[in-house]
A and B are shown apart, each in its own frame.
Chain A
Amino acid sequence: MSNRQIKLMQGNEACVEGALAAGMKFYAGYPITPSTEIAELCSQKLPVVGGKFIQMEDEIAGMAATIGGSLAGLKSMTATSGPGFSLKQENIGYAALTEVPCVIVDVQRAGPSTGLPTAPSQGDIMQAKWGTHGDHPVIALSPTSVRETFDLTVKAFNLSEKYRTPVLLMLDEIVGHMREKIEIPNLDEIEVFDRVKPKVCDDSYRAYRVEEGQLVPPMAAFGEGFHFHVTGLMHDEYGFPSNDSEVADKLLRRIMDKIDNNVDDIVIFEEEFTEDAELLILAYGGTYRSARSAVKKARSEGLKVGLFKALTIWPFPETRVKELTNNIKKILVPELNLGQYVQEVERVVKNTADVYSLGKVNGEAITPDEILAKIREVL
């Protein structure tokens, strides 16, 4: 018994609905195919819930304003695609170091450069990890369906608020533009996390001071009466620049530990048919759907193939993938690039399994039959 709404919805649309359900109140961006529907819908829906939408002058400003909106206390999001994701990188690093929660959606299209604006790709997967300079914490999620886009957008906001860090939501054109049936959960079924605020309002507040045993400092909003300094330089507890090697080391290690010490809370994945599998297909995003179709066909031919769906792309689901190689000695990674995520798989499994890549960059989705052919080849 449910009064949930059943709708035909686009992935990009589900992203906006998820963001609103999570409490987004501010969006700044610069429209770019294939993410434009996200900006368009935010411009229509945010004013209705008392939020604000700003179309900025360019991608860089869109990212900067998103950070500003969050510093002022509002849950903030921006969306883009490849060329814009490149332009946003410096400010993504700024958000990571200044510990400003925000959600950046990248609906991946074929690159490099302007590439194929309307065609799908998963070519930004490594950029999500290493796009901005310096060591920095990264959380990146990648949904495979319209419903997962809704759920993972909520999750992206929750993780960003919980760990005071930017979260990347890596869609691709397949999932972003596809319309499918979705049952939207009621608001009271959705778990929403809000950033922890300082307990008392007095001069003792330090924007970057953590309690003993904690990793995430409580966050005041600009305009609430707290002294609060923000800089992309290494900084002390007050947020003022510091050249002190001890301060720098402590700060960077702490923001990395926020993620590294909470991997179990952040990493989500699903698996099917892995118990007796001789070959594991590890897939994510739109390509996962081709992989699932291929695995079902392979199983009907009696081929022992398992399926792993990485919903959290970064941090990599290392523990479980390592465990699986106790019994599975072959792993195939199909992806819409020339072999990016497969490198991480190779790094993690080392020599415990043979790792195969299936890449495609002509702007079309990988078909189930292409994966099936590769399965037959490597088994």
Chain B
Amino acid sequence: MVNQKEIRLSGSGGQGLILGGIILAEAALLDGKNAIQSQSYGPEARGGASKAEVIISDDTIDYPKVEKADLLLALTDKAYHKYIKTLKDDGILIIDSNIELDDTDKAYKILQVPIIQSASEKIGKAMVANIVALGVIRAVTDVVTEEALENAVLKRVPKGTEELNKAALQEGYLLAKASKNK
């Protein structure tokens, strides 16, 4: 079986999940892997359900969409309920702490992480929640290297926000460590 990881980032429009997906895919390319990013969103500009999908592989990728995800990130309650069914039985759910879990008696691994709260309170900008989430995903899965992810983030974020985004990544790493030690 080829080494292929399928990741679904879900939440609401405006949370920067599509950008997060692009950054993750670009980091994979920097690591010399193959990657495809795709997305789905509603006709509205903000607030509708939004998801970004990333497939990272050592081989060519034919079907560009994620069917059963190895990893699901859920930043809203709505996204959690909509996409949890598509997580593999042995997958990983990374879910924001402010979302109430329905059922914790599942085969997949659950990591409850205060992504949005940390972004707004510790980093001081709720809008970097997507970058905090990428930090968590990297630390939990090793799907991209730390170096590649940082380079990919810095390439995509607006000038003047580099330090802020680096801090957001570091916060993600810390959160992942803390939640793994629980």
A interface residues (Cβ-Cβ under 8 A, vs B): 6-8, 33, 117-119, 174, 177-181, 286, 289-290, 292-293, 296, 365, 367-369
What is the interface size of chain B, counting residues whose CB is below 8 A from a CB of the partner? 20
Q: Which residues of B contact A369 (CB under 8 A)?
A: 67
- Expressed in whole angstroms, the Cα–Cα distance for A368 and B62 within the complex equals 9
B34, B36, B39, B62: which has the most chain A beta carbons within 10 Å?
Answer: B62
- Expressed in whole angstroms, the Cα–Cα distance for A368 and B25 within the complex equals 22
Question: Per a CB cutoff under 8 Å, which of B35, B37, B40, B61 touches A118?
Answer: B40
Q: Which residues of A contact B39 (CB under 8 A)?
A: 177
- Expressed in whole angstroms, the Cα–Cα distance for A296 and B4 within the complex equals 16
How many whole Å from B154's CB to the nearest CB in chain A? Answer: 15
How many whole Å from B109's CB to the nearest CB in chain A? Answer: 25
Would you list 26 pairs from A and B whose C-beta atoms are within 8 A, ordered by A residue? A8-B22, A8-B25, A8-B29, A8-B35, A117-B43, A118-B40, A118-B43, A119-B40, A174-B38, A174-B64, A174-B65, A177-B38, A178-B36, A178-B37, A178-B38, A179-B36, A179-B38, A180-B34, A180-B64, A181-B35, A181-B36, A286-B64, A292-B62, A292-B63, A293-B63, A365-B63
Q: CB within 8 Å of A: which of B45-68?
A: 61-65, 67
How many whole Å from A309's CB to the nearest CB in chain B? Answer: 12
Q: Is the interface of B mostly helix, strand, loop or mixed?
A: mixed
Chain A, Cβ-Cβ closest to B21: A179
How many whole Å from B137's CB to the nearest CB in chain A? Answer: 17
Chain B, Cβ-Cβ closest to A366: B63
Q: Which residues of B contact A177 (CB under 8 A)?
A: 38-39
How many whole Å from A259's CB to the nearest CB in chain B? Answer: 32
- Expressed in whole angstroms, the Cα–Cα distance for A161 and B152 within the complex equals 40
Q: Which residues of B contact A181 (CB under 8 A)?
A: 29, 34-36
A6, A178, A367, A368: which has the most chain B beta carbons within 10 Å?
Answer: A178
B25–A367 touching, CB < 8 Å:
no
